[in-house]
Amino acid sequence: GFTVEGYARDYLLIDGEWRDHVLTSLTNTKLSPGD
């Protein structure tokens, strides 16, 4: 799985508006593509 590490405020410009972005990190290194 993943865990939330924090938030990047006003990080992404979507439809002309700046949006926050959730920062995550991988906690389960045994995942394979498609899981």
Q: pLDDT of 1-35, one tens digit each?
A: 889 999 999 999 999 999 999 999 988 778 777 76
Is this model's pTM higher than 0.85 or not? no
Cα–Cα distances in angstroms (integers) from residue 3 to residues 7, 10, 17, 19, 33, in the given order: 12, 21, 26, 20, 18
Q: Where exactly are the structural domains of the chain?
A: 1-28
Report d(CA 29, CA 7) in Å as an integer.
Answer: 22
**Residue 32 has what pLDDT?**
73
**Residue 29 has what pLDDT?**
77
